[in-house]
Amino acid sequence: MRRRLPVALAAALAGAALIGAAGCGAGGTAPAPKPDRASPTTSPSPTPVTGPYVALGDSYTSGLRIPPQGGTPQGCGRSGANYPSLVAQRLDLKDFTDVSCSGARTGDLTAAQRTEDGTNPPQLDAVSAATRLVTLGIGGNDAGFMDVLGRCAVENLRHSLIGKGDAAPCRTYYTTGAGSGEVQRKMTTTAERLTAVLGEIKRRAPQAEVLLVGYPALLPQDPGRCAETLGDGIADADIGFVAEQERQLNGMLRQRAEAAGVAFVDTYSSSTGHDMCEAEGTRWIEPLDAGKGLAPIHPNAQGQQGMATAVLSALRQRS
């Protein structure tokens, strides 16, 4: 049964977007996925990963609202159970620095970022010639992904109120309406910024292993599976449109990584079937009505475990 009225959904999505942009618990009852262990028979054995390890990124990296929260500034929403911390623990890397921060954009890698509770120094200040491992998870805020999701709720609400029968009002807005070309412009700009950022990381840490980490699946391949979670607030065709935008974002991240000669970590594939429309205990992404004080439309503890597994797998597969 569909639960959400369009106006309530629009308000909830707007709030969720603000959480992610402004600075922005445990998962469900099912056992959380654990990082895979490399097979002892794998040959040839990869070179052991060493530190210092520096983690850079936005709220999907910092682990917004996932306990235990710690680090400074508190406004970054950094969790001791985020995927960088789990990777450092699994690899037994004692020299580990996490400077990720909720709401971060590429510009916050080279400039200080103000949060609701303190200022985060430029993230790249933590990267030096001694650094041997860098993970970077960023680009979603630059590309305005949360804005797209919020706009979809608004457009669907508007069409519902005026009785207009567009089957995909959000797609129409971004393809032939007032927002025509907006998504692609932001995507192109974000790609250019990422190229510059990856080049700067390699300049500062020429001997470091650098991994660009993608975003996990927020929505299912079948929009109909979101009937319980999103109700009739967003048309099925527009749910599909938003999912398509995330796939394009991840595709762009992969392209930038390959062009820069760094590894891309695909977290989307392994998270398929664990999106926010799945039941508690299965989902890795919290829905709008996130439980236990967690951040809506963000990874929970299980999601961070899944992302850590993907990073560890990428490190094992490196040449």
Token duo for residue 73: 């500034």
Q: Would you tell me how many other CB atoms lie within 10 Å of the CB of residue 278?
A: 19
Distances (CA, A) of 143 to 5, 63, 120, 123, 148: 28, 20, 21, 19, 9
Question: Which residue shows structure tokens 């990869």?
Answer: 46
Side-chain-side CA neighbours of residue 16 (13 Å): 27
Q: Would you tell me how many other CB atoms lie within 10 Å of the CB of residue 270?
A: 18
Positions annotated as catalytic residues are: 59, 298
Token duo for residue 275: 């999106």
Sheet strand arrangement including 209-213: 96-98, 53-57, 133-137, 209-213, 263-265
**Residue 106 near residue 194 (C-beta atoms within 8 A):** yes
Beta bridge partners of 56: 136
Token duo for residue 11: 């308000």
Q: Is the N-terminal amide bond of 52 cis, ω within 30° of 0?
A: yes
**Residue 82 near residue 100 (C-beta atoms within 8 A):** yes
What crossing angle do the helices spanning 145-162 and 236-260 adopt, rounded to 10°? 160
Handedness of CA 247, 69, 50, 91 (dihedral sign): negative
Q: Is 306 exposed, middle or buried (0-12, 13-18, 19+ CB in 10 A)?
A: buried
